[in-house]
Amino acid sequence: MKVLVPIKRTIDYSIKPRITREGDGVATDGVKMSINPFDRIALEEAVRLKEKGQVEEIIAVSIGVADTQQQLRTALAAGADRAILLVTDALVQAPLAARVLLAMREEVGADLVLMGKQAIDDDANQTGQMLAALWDRPQATFTSAIEIKDDWLYATREVDAGLETIAVELPAVVTSDLRLNEPRLVKMPDIMKAKRKPLDERSLESLSIDPPPMLGVIGYEAPVARQGGHRVESVEALVDELKQRGVV
């Protein structure tokens, strides 16, 4: 079984994003970039399935600027067998990403697309669902545990009432939640081996995919800064303060 793992280049989760001076986007110059954390979890799960002998090959794919090859090299060091980078400087939204991933799945012949449930830059949580719809195959979203038996994948999901386990017939799309696993650290020998693994780089236009309608971005603005708190001397003073603010 082949697994396709989409990788997105995002600002590192430990960095606080800042708006550019012009207010036309998020500042990325000189900012540390990393693999989207949810995608890293998906890749780790694919590696674990391979270690169980249930996966033959892991293909990492990404859409973005040429510098995204840094994140794909990290994915190769983390266990992917080969990587594909579709280079574009344009903004890639979920509808286009889903169409591109469908084309890549058909190209590599993947039986499973294992991806993060969302990216931490836009928090859209749309690409996996759109891909499943375009592919016309089952989907299991927000998974916190995965088990494969024969041609079926059993996914455990967190719901309001607790946990539920669903069965989807492969091929399928699976999106990972935070609790699916904890990715292992990449070791130096794996980083050296990754330099010898194939990374196919080509332009996004080479796929000849008609871009779908895109959402227009009106503007960017930083969230309102939190106000500092202060101490009150008694419960009565606390209640009076809450009443003044219209909370109670």
Rounded distance between C-alpha atoms, residue 114 and residue 5, angstroms:
5
CB-count burial class (<10 Å; 0-12, 13-18, 19+) for 19: middle
pLDDT of amino acid 69? 95
pLDDT of amino acid 28? 86
Chain centroid to CA 232: 44
Q: What is the largest CA-CA distance in the chain?
A: 69
Which tokens is 145 given? Answer: 């545990």
Q: Is the dihedral of CA 111, 117, 122, 126 positive or negative?
A: positive
Beta partners for residue 35, in sequence order: 9
pLDDT of amino acid 98? 96
pLDDT of amino acid 38? 97
3-state secondary structure of 61: strand
Rounded distance between C-alpha atoms, residue 211 and residue 198, angstroms:
28
pLDDT-based confidence at residue 46 (cuts at 50, 70, 90):
very high
User: For 184-229, what is each residue's pLDDT tens digit?
Assistant: 999 999 999 999 999 999 999 999 898 888 888 888 888 888 878 8
What domains, with CATH codes, occur in the chain? 2-218 (3.40.50.620)
Average pLDDT in the 142-170 region? 94
| Average of per-residue pLDDT values in the chain | 93
pLDDT of amino acid 218? 83
User: For 12-37, what is each residue's pLDDT tens digit?
Assistant: 999 988 888 887 788 888 899 999 99
The candidate with the shortest Cα–Cα distance to 21, out of 12, 29, 11, is 29
Which tokens is 240 given? Answer: 């009076």
Q: Are 84 and 104 in contact, with CB atoms under 8 Å apart?
A: yes
DSSP letter at 19 equals: B
